[in-house]
Chains A and B, each alone.
Chain A
């Protein structure tokens, strides 16, 4: 009767999404009077942070695993060895590749993108890109959940975990990683992980005007994003495109300048904690989804915001 958390690692440490999955598993295990166990593979420099999420034990597979089928075999073996009734993973590309395979192996019902702890066998998840929530009942005896990033937070006051060596028969890898291409060399936090985002749209009129957007982002330590038409016409790189057909983000702060707030754009950003909109048109739909708004010309307002932030820091 325990809960197993699948922990992804990056550069030899558990990822933020992995720590969130562990925190979720620990909170849910506590609510049921059982214990949470984490499974991780490869170098793990922040085992302490993982223990602080409240998991009682860390099962550690010495070698890194990159193949999703092998990872599923590892997690399934761990789940069976600890008698887990539930398996928890992050709702990011890693979790979405591994957790469904685990669900198949365990014949467990899977709920993807949950945002809250389960209650009486029902769990809440986001649907329609956060425009609504659905309560889902699981009818199988075991369950698998993937946790929406930034929805649950990381616990850091747990009492620490014991680490045990764990191994399993993983078979051969079918997916082979041949290389990595960095999206940008400018040292920005990648969009899906960014806590602060400054975004701009067609209202900026041309790619030559993005300096004021980049300066504001720099002053905040934020990552830059853009609306779809802007990346389609090549003003900005494709990896900056947020929205229904781009990246979905959930930062602490999203500043949107010269973006009208079309429903397809909102679908990717409306789960941000705080939204600021700068637009010349007081009727722009984006103001309805915003927490703070300035009706004004981005060409004047953005440099003033940058100056105000610099003044604050000095």
Chain B
């Protein structure tokens, strides 16, 4: 099985971090909790433009454990902004960023679609019911990035070459998860799709009202 960088992390969080570095200076460090199997995808993040990378050598089993390991590293790292994706596309948990914020006692902006930084102050937009909220928060803070924050960047040849020699530090750590998955199951099968004659769409409306009770 071939793993990929979670799209919300790669397309939105990482790219915006790199854009801010290009504009304001500073450095971008990526952090990953996982075993050596993660190294190829970490190199991809470096090829896109991160300066260096940290891998916490532990098997991620639950959100609290991952958050603890990230927060522990971040405490000593002096980071101004911790950018995360809004959720992973496999487990859809979406809770690590807020946990990290709580552990570091700092502000958290979820589902952020825009980020600008001026000195120690950040202005953001975030998804809210019916539109977007404009938010202000002081560094350091944590955000989870949603669509809109940046555009996907494809690494170029120079990026790929330089990624090979950028520093990837491996840190070991101990942690115990508080939840475990006992089994996966598939949802019940969908019944067959009922086909309706294109000449008689009113039949569909009748079925939606009387059979499916959807309208």
| A interface, CB within 8 angstroms of B | 10, 15, 67-69, 72, 91, 93, 96-101, 103-105, 107-113, 122, 126-140, 146, 174-183, 190, 192-193, 196, 220, 238, 241, 244-246, 252-253, 267, 273-274, 276-277, 287-297, 300-301, 304-305, 308-309, 311-312
Contact = CB atoms under 8 A, between A and B. Distances in A.
Contacts of B11: 245
A252 B214 contact: yes
A192 B131 CA distance: 11
Contact of B187 (A96, A132, A296, A312): A132
B91 A127 contact: yes
A137 B208 contact: no
Contact of B107 (A69, A103, A139, A196): A69
A288 B193 contact: yes
A307 to B, nearest CB: 8
Nearest to B106: A174
Interface of B: 7-8, 11, 62-64, 67, 89-99, 101-103, 105-111, 123, 125-138, 141, 147-148, 177-187, 190-191, 193-198, 201-202, 204-205, 207-209, 212, 214-215
A114 B212 CA distance: 25
Contacts of A112: 63, 91-95
Contact of B196 (A138, A183, A294): A294
- Tell me whether chain B's interface is mostly helix, strand or loop, or mixed: mixed
A180 B132 contact: yes
28 contacts: A68-B98, A69-B105, A96-B95, A98-B98, A105-B102, A109-B62, A110-B179, A126-B92, A127-B91, A127-B184, A131-B186, A135-B185, A136-B180, A139-B178, A174-B107, A174-B137, A176-B137, A178-B136, A180-B128, A181-B125, A182-B131, A241-B147, A253-B208, A274-B214, A291-B190, A294-B196, A304-B201, A308-B205
Contact of B137 (A175, A182, A291): A175
Given A15-B129, A253-B208, A295-B198, 13 more contacts: A96-B95, A98-B98, A99-B95, A100-B63, A109-B179, A128-B92, A134-B183, A137-B180, A146-B95, A238-B148, A267-B89, A273-B212, A291-B194
A196 B215 contact: yes
Contacts of A130: 187
Given A253-B214, A291-B194, A296-B198, A177 B134 contact: yes
A305 B212 CA distance: 16
A10 B129 contact: yes
A183 B132 contact: yes
Of residues A67, A100, A107, A196, which shows the largest number of chain B Cβ atoms within 10 Å of its Cβ?
A100
A269 to B, nearest CB: 13
Given A140-B178, A277-B193, A293-B195, A129 B127 contact: no
B208 A292 contact: yes
A175 B180 contact: no
A138 B91 CA distance: 16
A169 B47 CA distance: 46
A103 B181 contact: no
Contacts of A96: 94-95, 98, 110
A110 B137 contact: no
A154 to B, nearest CB: 17
Looking at B95, B102, B133, B181, the one whose CB has the most chain A CB atoms below 10 A away is: B95
Contacts of B110: 68, 93, 96-97
A244 B89 CA distance: 7
A111 B61 CA distance: 12
A202 to B, nearest CB: 18
